[in-house]
Amino acid sequence: MLAAARYSLGGAKRLWREAAFRHETLALALILGLFGLTGAPLWGHIGAVVLYLLTASIEALNTAVEEITDHASPEYSEMARHAKDLGSFAVSCLLLVNAIWAVFVLWSAFTPGVG
């Protein structure tokens, strides 16, 4: 378990070097702050954290795909471009889900009887 924890910490350190991941982490802090200011329900906070963790995991996998692709195909390759585009699409889909969740939670905080 210690080795696995070390590998995970190494992955987190590597992922932190990605600007997109830092932006996603900042977005979580801003969303949770906004939820706190608006009196959003606890389930909204929990959902945002769960979605952030899913986003972080997909971002990590996308970064891994990019690293492997760059190593295996340092010159331009249509297949490498497709792999990177697909990883980016996966992250984009989850970012959209995060945005929909944030809007729903904020809407429910201001709309009686919702949530």
pLDDT tens sequence across 9-51: 999 999 999 999 999 999 999 999 999 999 999 999 999 999 9
Would you say residue 10 lies in a domain? no
pLDDT digits (tens, 9 = 90+) for 49-90: 999 999 999 999 999 999 999 999 889 899 999 999 999 999
Average pLDDT over residues 88-114: 93
- Give the pLDDT band of residue 114 (cuts 50, 70, 90): low
Q: Decide if 24 contacts 55 (C-beta within 8 A).
A: yes
- Give the pLDDT band of residue 111 (cuts 50, 70, 90): confident
Number of domains in the chain: 1
Would you say residue 24 lies in a domain? no
In angstroms, rounded to a whole number, what is the distance separating the alpha carbons of residues 92 and 99? Answer: 11
More confident residue, 113 or 62: 62
Domain extent at residue 101: 43-115
Instruction: Record the pTM.
Output: 0.90
- Residue 87 sits in a domain of what CATH number? 1.10.287.3610
Active site residues: 59
Would you say residue 3 lies in a domain? no
Would you say residue 2 lies in a domain? no
Angle at 91 between CA 30 and CA 7, to 5 degrees: 90
Would you say residue 115 lies in a domain? yes
Would you say residue 63 lies in a domain? yes
